[in-house]
Amino acid sequence: MNERAVPLSPTDGYVTADGRQIGPVVMEMKHITLRFGGVEAIKDISFDVREGEIRAIIGPNGAGKSSMLNVISGFYHPQEGEVWYKGSQRPPMKPYQVARQGIARTFQNIALFEGMTVLDNIMTGRLNHMNASFLDQAFWWGKAQREEVANREKAEEIIDFLEIQNIRKTPVGRLPYGLKKRVELARALVAEPQILLLDEPMAGMNVEEKEDMSRFVLDVNDEFGTTIVLIEHDMGVVMDLSDRVVVMDYGKKIGDGTPDEVRANQEVIDAYLGVAHD
Amino acid sequence: MPDQLIFAMEVTLNGLMTGVMYALVALGFVLIFKASGIFNYAQGVMALFAAMTLVGIQQGRVPFSHLINEIFGTDVHYFGWEVPALAAIALTVVVMIGFAWLVQRFVFRHLVGQEPIILFMATIGLAYFLEGVSDLMWGSEIRNLDVGLPQGINDVIDTTTFEIFGYGFFIDNLDISAAIIAAVLVTGLIAFAQYTKQGRAMRAVADDHQAALSVGIKLNYVWVLVWSLAGIVALVAGIMWGSKSGVQFSLSLIALKALPVLMLGGFTSIPGAIVGGLIIGVGEALFEFAVGPMIGGATENWFAYVLALIFLVFRPQGLFGEKIIERV
Q: Any CB–CB contact under 8 A between A1 and chain B?
A: no
Q: Is the pLDDT of residue B328 over 60?
A: no
Residues B158, B170: Cα–Cα separation, whole Å: 6
What φ, ψ does residue A25 adopt, rounded to 5°? Answer: -65, 130
Residues B270, B187: Cα–Cα separation, whole Å: 10
Chain B residue whose CA is closest to A151: B197
> Which residues, at least 6 apart from B124, have a Cβ–Cβ distance to it below 8 Å?
B41, B42
pLDDT value for B31: 77
> Is the CB of B216 less than 8 angstroms away from the CB of A114?
no
Task: Tell me how close the Cα of B219 comes to any Cα of chain A, in angstroms.
Answer: 8
pLDDT value for B93: 96
CB nearest to B195's CB, from A111, A138, A173: A138
pLDDT in tens, A78-119: 999 999 999 899 999 999 999 999 999 999 888 999 888 999
Q: H or E stretch including B10? A: helix B3-36
Across chain A, mean pLDDT equals 88
Q: Any CB–CB contact under 8 A between B198 and chain A?
A: yes
Task: Tell me how close the Cα of A130 comes to any Cα of chain B, in angstroms.
Answer: 7
Model confidence at A269, pLDDT cuts 50, 70, 90, reads confident
Q: Any CB–CB contact under 8 A between B325 and chain A?
A: yes
Task: Tell me how close the Cα of B140 comes to any Cα of chain A, in angstroms.
Answer: 39
pLDDT in tens, A197-245: 999 998 888 888 889 999 999 999 999 999 999 998 777 888 889 999 9
What φ, ψ does residue B246 adopt, rounded to 5°? Answer: 85, 150
Of all residues in chain B, what percent carry a pLDDT higher than 70? Answer: 97
Tell which wins on pLDDT, A132 or B198. B198
Chain B residue whose CA is closest to A110: B211
CB B31 within 8 A of CB B25: no
Pick from B37, B40, B36, B28: nearest CA to B273: B28
Segments making up each domain of chain A, as ranges = 2-102+193-273, 115-190
pLDDT value for B322: 67
Q: Which of residues 72-101 of B touch A (CB under 8 A)?
A: none
Task: Tell me how close the Cα of A142 comes to any Cα of chain B, in angstroms.
Answer: 14
Q: Any CB–CB contact under 8 A between A123 and chain B?
A: yes
Q: Is the pLDDT of residue B167 over 90?
A: no
Tell which wins on pLDDT, A71 or B165. A71
Strand-by-strand arrangement of the A227-232 sheet: A103-105, A195-199, A227-232, A54-58, A244-249, A252-257
Q: Which residues of A touch B204 (CB under 8 A)?
A: 113, 116, 124, 127
Chain A residue whose CA is closest to B206: A113
pLDDT value for B58: 92
CB B189 within 8 A of CB A138: no
Task: Tell me how close the Cα of B315 comes to any Cα of chain A, in angstroms.
Answer: 20
CB nearest to B327's CB, from A123, A124, A173: A173
Q: Is the pLDDT of residue A267 over 50?
A: yes
Tell me the three state secondary structure of residue B54. Answer: helix
pLDDT value for B248: 86
> Tell me, which fold does domain A2-102+193-273 have in CATH?
Rossmann fold (3.40.50)
Q: Which residues of A touch B192 (CB under 8 A)?
A: 138
Distances (CA, A) of B297 to B287, B303, B305: 10, 11, 16
pLDDT in tens, A119-137: 999 999 988 887 777 667 7
CB contacts < 8 A (A, B): 86
Q: Any CB–CB contact under 8 A between B214 and chain A?
A: yes
Tell me the torsion sign for CA atoms B186, B191, B192, B194: positive
Q: What is the mean pLDDT of residues B45-51?
A: 93
Task: Tell me how close the Cα of A128 comes to any Cα of chain B, in angstroms.
Answer: 7
Identity of the amino acid at B85: A
> Is the CB of B201 less than 8 angstroms away from the CB of A115?
no
Of all residues in chain B, what percent carry a pLDDT higher than 90? Answer: 23
> Is the CB of A138 less than 8 angstroms away from the CB of B212?
no
Chain B residue whose CA is closest to A176: B327
Q: What is the mean pLDDT of residues A19-26?
A: 88
Beta-bridge partners for A257: A245
Q: Which of residues 3-22 of B touch A (CB under 8 A)?
A: none
Q: Could you tell me whether strands A14-15 and A25-36 are parallel, antiparallel, or unpaired per DSSP bridges? A: unpaired
Distances (CA, A) of A187 to A87, A247, B196, B213: 27, 28, 18, 13
CB B26 within 8 A of CB B276: yes
Q: Where are the alpha helices (DSSP H) in chain A?
A: 65-72, 95-100, 118-124, 134-139, 142-161, 177-189, 207-224, 235-241, 259-263, 266-273
> Is the CB of B325 less than 8 angstroms away from the CB of A174?
yes
Task: Tell me how close the Cα of B309 comes to any Cα of chain A, in angstroms.
Answer: 27
Chain A residue whose CA is closest to B213: A96
Buried/exposed A160-198: b ≥16 CB within 10 Å, e otherwise: ebbebeebeeebbbebeebbbbbbbbbbbbbbbbbbbbb
Model confidence at A138, pLDDT cuts 50, 70, 90, reads low
pLDDT value for A54: 94
Cα B185 to chain centroid distance, Å, stands at 12
DSSP B58-87: HTTBPTTHHHHHHHH-----B-S----HHH
Tell me the three state secondary structure of residue A192. Answer: coil
Q: Is the pLDDT of residue B327 over 70?
A: no
pLDDT in tens, B236-250: 989 988 888 888 888
Tell which wins on pLDDT, A255 or B168. A255
Pick from A235, A121, A228, A243: nearest CA to A182: A121
Chain B residue whose CA is closest to A113: B207
Q: What is the mean pLDDT of residues B177-188?
A: 86
pLDDT value for B65: 86
Q: What is the mean pLDDT of residues B294-299?
A: 85
Identity of the amino acid at A219: D
Tell which wins on pLDDT, A130 or A154. A154
Residues B269, B97: Cα–Cα separation, whole Å: 24
> Is the CB of A125 less than 8 angstroms away from the CB of B215?
yes
Q: Is the pLDDT of residue A2 over 60?
A: no
CB nearest to B214's CB, from A73, A123, A139: A73
> Which residues, at least 6 apart from B69, have a Cβ–Cβ distance to it below 8 Å?
B75, B76
Chain B residue whose CA is closest to A135: B196
Of all residues in chain A, what percent carry a pLDDT higher than 90? Answer: 55
pLDDT in tens, B125-164: 999 999 999 999 998 888 888 888 888 888 888 888 888 8
> Is the CB of A123 less than 8 angstroms away from the CB of B200?
yes
Tell me the three state secondary structure of residue A71. Answer: helix
Q: What is the mean pLDDT of residues A46-67?
A: 91
Pick from B210, B206, B208, B232: nearest CA to B49: B232
> Is the CB of A127 less than 8 angstroms away from the CB of B215?
yes
Q: What is the mean pLDDT of residues B33-47?
A: 84
Task: Tell me how close the Cα of B38 comes to any Cα of chain A, in angstroms.
Answer: 15
Q: Is the pLDDT of residue B308 over 50?
A: yes
Task: Tell me how close the Cα of B313 comes to any Cα of chain A, in angstroms.
Answer: 25
- Mutation pick from B112, B195, B197 vs chain A, by most beta carbons of A within 10 Å, is B197
> Is the CB of B200 less than 8 angstroms away from the CB of A125?
no
Distances (CA, A) of A157 to A121, A184, B116: 15, 15, 36
Q: Is the pLDDT of residue A276 over 70?
A: no
Residues B14, B7: Cα–Cα separation, whole Å: 11
Q: Is the pLDDT of residue A70 over 90?
A: yes
Q: Any CB–CB contact under 8 A between A143 and chain B?
A: no
> Is the CB of B210 less than 8 angstroms away from the CB of A107?
yes
pLDDT value for B226: 87
Q: H or E stretch including B244? A: helix B219-245
- Mutation pick from B195, B203, B214 vs chain A, by most beta carbons of A within 10 Å, is B214
CB B236 within 8 A of CB B48: no
Of all residues in chain A, what percent carry a pLDDT higher than 70? Answer: 94
pLDDT value for A3: 47
pLDDT value for B271: 83
Residue B79 burial (CB < 10 Å; 0-12/13-18/19+)? Answer: middle
